[in-house]
Copies of this chain bind each other. A is one copy, B any other.
Amino acid sequence: MSLKKNKKIGHKVTLTDVGELAGVSAMTVSKVLRGTGRIPEETRKRVRLAAQELGYVTNQLASLLAGASSNMVGVLIPTARDVVYSDILSAINSELRPAGLRTFIGESYFDSDVDFEQVSSFLSIRPAALILHGGITRKAETLKLLKKQHCPVIQIWDVENTDFDISIGPSHVEAGRLMAEHFLSLGLERVGYVGAEMELDICAAVRANSFERTLNAHGVQLIRSVAEDLPRQAEGGEILTRRLLDHHPTIQGIHFLNDAMALGGMRVSFERGISVPDQLKIGGFNATSYVHSVRTRLTTISMSYQNIGRKAAQGVIALYSGEQVPQIQVEPITLERGNST
């Protein structure tokens, strides 16, 4: 994961060459390619086309042949079907593209063997950088492979396990604590937790443990309703909420692994005539679109996924520019209170 300092992206063609063709200054070219500054879209397009025409950024194959690293950035996420990652991915693309970098994406499904395969595959085309999701137990082999590389490795989502050039994400310890403190402030004494695939997703486990620890410190016990084989979607939330309520009908509040599962919990409450939030408080995590249903607004933990993606991409660019970048970047989170608690 060591880094070639001051290694420039791009090859023989200079910013000045591109600027001359586009009829703008080299500074403007630089801004457009870095996606900074307030530059009219018309100018941006002209610069991008000039850069393309001169092969400033696109001659990928030539650069591979020259033994340089490519302009490709490998991005590994657990699954594109998770709205959190598709938002982060979209932000990564929107930063990297103007800088002449291209992403290629892989999915790990939180499976450490697939993770190893994907990382190997990324490295086989000599990427300019890797952006890897955290929250997974990586195999020793994968870490060894990463350590041998000369490209920056940036981790997103996990800031607790930080053996990378940059780690960017929320503090999952704080997230669990925030929701516990909210439940405690409402005077709840019988609290449940609903989640799935907790053994694979380290970050979810960290949040749940922090939630439990904070409750315990105030004398409140937690009852978990967790399954490894259910989807982390509304359907999984429904099944697990039913189980929890069947065995612990006097429960006063449930924290869910994510908003999708919390939506399932709300459906079960509605079905059973349990009034939310009067009889049962419900707390989610993610602040996704599920939050604002037709008449229910879920209490949840919110953060900017766009920011996480943007900072990961900016980290790549900054590292290549030889800029100093903080190794750990904790993205702030807030508890957004809806009408479900």
Query: Interface of A with B (CB < 8 Å)?
Result: 45, 48-49, 52, 58-61, 64-65, 70, 72, 79-81, 83, 86-87, 89-90, 93-94, 97, 102-107, 113-114, 117, 120-121, 124-126, 233-234, 260, 263, 266-267, 270, 289-290, 292-296
Q: Across the interface, do A121 and B58 meet the contact criterion of CB distance under 8 Å? A: yes
In the bound complex, residues from chain B placing their C-beta under 8 Å from that of A48 are 113, 117
Enumerate 21 A-B pairs (CB-CB under 8 Å) in ascending A order: A48-B113, A61-B64, A61-B124, A61-B126, A65-B65, A80-B86, A81-B90, A93-B106, A97-B106, A97-B114, A97-B117, A102-B104, A102-B121, A103-B104, A103-B105, A104-B104, A104-B105, A234-B292, A263-B293, A270-B295, A294-B294
CB pair A117–B80 under 8 Å, yes or no, is no
Contacts of A263 in B (CB 8 A): 293-294
Contacts A60-B121, A293-B293 known; 18 new A-B pairs at CB < 8 A? A48-B113, A61-B126, A80-B89, A83-B83, A86-B86, A93-B105, A93-B106, A94-B107, A102-B121, A103-B106, A233-B289, A234-B292, A260-B289, A263-B294, A267-B292, A267-B294, A267-B295, A294-B295
Q: Closest approach, in angstroms, between the C-beta of A217 and any C-beta of chain B?
A: 33
The residue on B at minimum CB distance from A57 is: B121
User: Do B72 and A104 touch (CB < 8 A)?
Assistant: yes
Q: How far is the CB of A321 from chain B (nearest CB, A)?
A: 21
A59 to B290: give the CA distance in the assembly, Å: 42
Do the beta carbons of B270 and A60 come within 8 Å of each other?
A: no
- What residue of chain B has the Cβ atom nearest to residue A263's Cβ? B294
Name A125's contact: one of B72, B103, B234, B294 (CB within 8 Å): B72
Q: Would you give the shortest CB distance from A63 to chain B, in whole angstroms?
A: 9
Central interface residue in A59, A60, A120, by most chain B CB within 10 Å: A60
- The interface residues of chain B lying within 8 Å CB-to-CB of A106 are 93, 97, 102-103
- Residues of B contacting A124 with CB < 8 Å? 58-61
Task: Give the docked Cα–Cα distance between A121 and B48 (Å).
Answer: 12
CA distance A235 to B90 in the complex (A): 19
CB-CB under 8 A from A107, the residues of chain B are: 90, 93-94, 97
4 interchain residue pairs of minimum CB distance? A104-B104, A60-B124, A80-B86, A105-B105
Interface centre among A52, A289, A296 (most CB of B within 10 A): A289
Choose one: B45, B93, B233, B234; the contact of A80 (CB below 8 Å): B93
Chain B residues with CB below 8 A from A117, complex form: 48, 52, 97
Q: Which of A83, A104, A107 has the most CB of B within 10 A?
A: A104
